[in-house]
A and B are shown apart, each in its own frame.
Chain A
Amino acid sequence: MVSKRKRISTIIASSAATALLLAACGSSGTSSSSSSSSSSSSSGGTKVAGGTVTFAEAPNATPNYIFPLTSGAYFSVANLSQFQFLMYRPLYFFGNGTNILINNTLSLANPPVYSNNNQTVTITLKDYKWSNGEQLSSRDVMFWMNMLKANKANWAAYVPGAFPDNVVSMTTPDSKTIVFNLDKSYNPTWFTYNELSQITPMPIAWDVTSSTSPTPQPTDANLPDTTTAGAQAVYKYLDGLSKDTSTYATNPLWQIVDGPYKLTSFTSAGQATFVPNPTYSGPVKSTISKFVELPFTTDTAEYNQLRSGSGIDFGYIPVTDIAQKGLVSSLGYNFNPWILYSFNYWVINFNNPTVGPLFKQLYIRQALQHLVDQQQWIQSFYKGYAIPTYSPVPVEPSSAFADATAKTNQFPYSVSQAISLLKSHGWTVNPNGTDTCTSPGTGANQCGAGVTQGQTLSFNLEYASGTQAVQQAMDAFKSAAAQAGITINVSSSTFNQVISNASPCTATQAACKWQMENWAGGWTYSPDYYPTGDEIFQTGAGANFGSYSDPTADNLITATYTASAAQSQSTLNAYQDYMAQNLPVMYQPNPDYELAEVKSTLQGVQYNAFGNLLPEYMYYTK
């Protein structure tokens, strides 16, 4: 029932989709630390081999694209993290337990080696085999890169100037080694986390343009992918196959995998059944004998099934039903909130002809931020299952990237502080009425550039409908703002409408009428795992939806992806501290990805911070 509730997960899925605009440029790499995995849970009980694990998919977020070079419409957690990655492993796997780290155990290659002032990257592959018996080789990585170069417009994560444009040349000295020559020096962490992270090697058997093409061998020269036209033909063929979901489990091409699982059945409704890949050459092999992903139309449907106590081994409880946590536990489930590496905000349009000049005043942004009662919202609306956002670097899951500033609220809820900020800048404040600027000018105690005498503080705020908590929060914000004499006109629209409206624009464009847009999903750092602001807050960046432009911020951002390995963290700290104060967007609480409920007999579940599913760690106990 209640179609409204399903949206909470749409937000997550699609915030990955918003990542399609990310890209960037970067520099040298360190391998981030990494101890090997296997974090969560291990209570008593004897491990037993075999068994089926059923996993509840998020509502309306069923897998629907199998080809790893995924285009924008299908770039989602459901397709990548929870579907393709089970079969086709990325070169570098991210998320080590709940840590925000590269997972060296599960990655297909050893940590990259940066040299030549971080302009050359050398990658050596581990010993992996495709399920058709072929060795994972540097040719497979080249295949991906060739395909990417020829078809970059179709790739969801492409941004002009970034990957693969910033790769000047590539060589494969041997079948295990690939060398990237970059156009300039990049921060190694950034380049590893945000660019190399996107590579998924592909089997040479896929290097075909039709069903009648002869089966290619890795040794063949002049395979189609080596020419632009050929690579485009291959893309066209494989993309076409991907549009026929009924053949996902039957087409032999898709059965050639290097990951731990193979797909054995796939229904048009999105039910996917995996069995272990017997030839998987990775370190952790599947204990369970079957992994099933169940589609649900709404989260209520999922919850009903969960409450029936059978059918779901790994599901979740909707936030609105959190009061019934106890009931679910009594059915033999363990509760565990699953948090993704993301932060939440709503965008403000600095270029809006009417209110842009207001947003450009830092004191106004600060006054507005003072009206966001993050603690109270989390308590009342999210029932405690959200994390406050104080800066663009997420506080949780805890990582080495966030510093102390990012963990403290710079603008705690206070109507009086908001009022005094306005009063001290030439505004006549009229609580529950309308504030007016009575002292225009650019002086320190005046309203600021572009703000005229008699201007009022009235903003339109549009948010994505469908989630009760978001609606409650927005109404609360409206209420609080009214107490400071600020009018917020709240309206709601579909998620897609909101993200579509919130696009960068110039003041004269008709599309620049929007003032504040809240799609309630913020930004998830995946698969751009390093939390810099290059694609969201840099002047002119594709995902800089509010057209925020600040020279200091630009410099700080550039520093984060061009710094040397040693300076990597300090530049990131400087950036996040500035952003915490400068408020390029309005920060709001970030709800947990999923309030997971796992059968108490099921152990080894990984709550990967990037949403990746790792069933190979799961096992049942007696």
Chain B
Amino acid sequence: MPLLEIDNLYTNIRLKKGEVKAVGGVSISVNAGETVGLVGESGCGKTMTGMSIMRLLPAAGYIASGKVLLDGRDLVALSDDEMRSVRGNDIGMIFQDPMTSLNPCLTIGSQIAEAVALHKRVNKAKAMERAIEVLNLVGMPKPQERINDYPHQLSGGLRQRVMIAMALSCEPKLLIADEPTTALDVTIQAQILELLDSLKEQLGMAMLLITHDMGVIAGRADRVVVMYAGKVVEQAPTEKIFASTNHPYTEALLASIPKMDGSVARLYSIPGIPPDLSNPPTGCRFAERCRLATDQCRTTEPALLSKEQDHSFACFHPVGIEAKHVKVAVKEEAAEIARIEHSERKPLMVLDHVSKEFEITKGAILQRKAGTLKAVSDLSLTIYDGETIGIVGESGCGKSTTGSMMVALEKPTGGKILFDGDDLFGHKPKELRSIRSNLQLMFQDPYASLDPRMRVGTIIREPLDINKIGTPQEREKKVISLLSEVGLSSRAVERYPHEFSGGQRQRIGLARALALNPKLIVADEPVSALDVSIRSQVLNLMKDLQRSHGLTYVVISHDLSVVRFLADRIGVMYLGKLVEIGTGYDIYENPAHPYTAALLSAVPEPEPEREKTKVRKVIKGELPSAINPPSGCRFRTRCERATDLCAQEEPPMASFGTLHQAACHFPLISKVEIRTGASAN
């Protein structure tokens, strides 16, 4: 008998008008000691399923029908009191955002201990002892001292450890982890996933891992359940899901994810948007977006059928059985091409020993200088016309600040930025404005980057208005043509941003950025706020536009696969420093800097084989403060190869190939001497 058995669960949410059928008949089972991954895009009902198990639905939500059996006991039928004794005791839960999931007013010790005291009926002191014990278990350094800390005194990673400790304090049989690492940096994500894995083994519990990240699933789950629009569309052991996908949705999902190996030239993208669950379509819910849909799909709902004993899917035209798999355009030996083209390009922007420091001040009137935050230190980089540079790094590494300086939103405190051979900040404000039209920014949050009070037409026309380009009629025309270029109809002109989806808004943002015919577009996390299926549309569009407009891109992202997909050359930043730069091949297949390698190994890939066999070099510890960065090599505090030399001397940039450079005393590959000197970066 499985530990947890969800049987035909329906969960609805009442709205002012009608109901959202968030979970529409889901059946999932989880065996003891097993990790089941629950994947799907936002709004597919995966979180609601988790919440339904815990019966922690929002006030307007309710379980309409179905059973949730835990050890044979139907949780749905329990009284509130009985259910409370299950929560935290039999089932533990971890949430997405450790920054907001802990009560800011209580010490972490008391927050852990209260669950222990409640369920294990021990006194406070005993509960506190247990709290220290579990904190120790989750790898919290010096738990004895940390027990009286408040959540805000801890970093995100440590907070998530506290969350885990809390969930595990009563040794539950089942752990529900809802996007446990989404809010964390890659290296921390790897730490936490590793921890969860080992704890699961140690405690012999079952885990329901809810995530949107196929990479996380690939490496951690024994079995995968794919949800779409409130329904389970496919479930199978992890290897099978990836290797012999049967449902077109699962397949499309996988095909729309850029690969770390850079083998994909163009992503598959799913047309349309998910259905409105307050009025779900009859028939297959994916039919509207499915390349294989027939009339039958639109009228009849396919049942979840088992192909094999452990593999089932709900489709009339399963790929791999009835239909053919999608073809994904594959890149030629990309790295080589980049190397060849590069020599023909001329520099567009040169960052010459650029630094940016923010002063931290104290005091009311005197404003004493309390320190400087060294956001970017001594960064040199040349951007060639027509190429795409990717900048990767964890949060706080200075990549966004670098982007801001490139579009002249921030002024560097040291060094120079040359654009087309001109010092960008050597101009009067008025001249700077006209130069600026060559430098545009693409924003991360498509919801915040468009003025909600303006019609789309006005938004796209605004840069033309500001720079007084053309007559009003010409501007109107330009707006229409821009819209069609990004794949939106001219009817959009009269609409407001809130009428569009996130992906469409990101297109509007692109159209606006293109209005001034810029030479360089800095895209700061261009797709990180978008769902996987939407993401691929935008990424493809970005590639298309680059070709048609001859654009130069700087793509800033924490997502290494996105950067790998878009960029010709990639820079890796750590704590304000550029530690390595090279072509995608150089960086991903042949990294020189230990940090780059560690970063790469931390990224979960949607390749179960690779994930399972990967040698994990998990970076230990947390990111040091940028106010007082470590001396010498900034990475030395977390580097396995670090010696005294690293602390005393800052490693210079050294070449490892034509376009490949890294700053490390003890690189992973051997240096290459280049006669022309080291300034070819």
A contacting B, Cβ–Cβ less than 8 Å: no
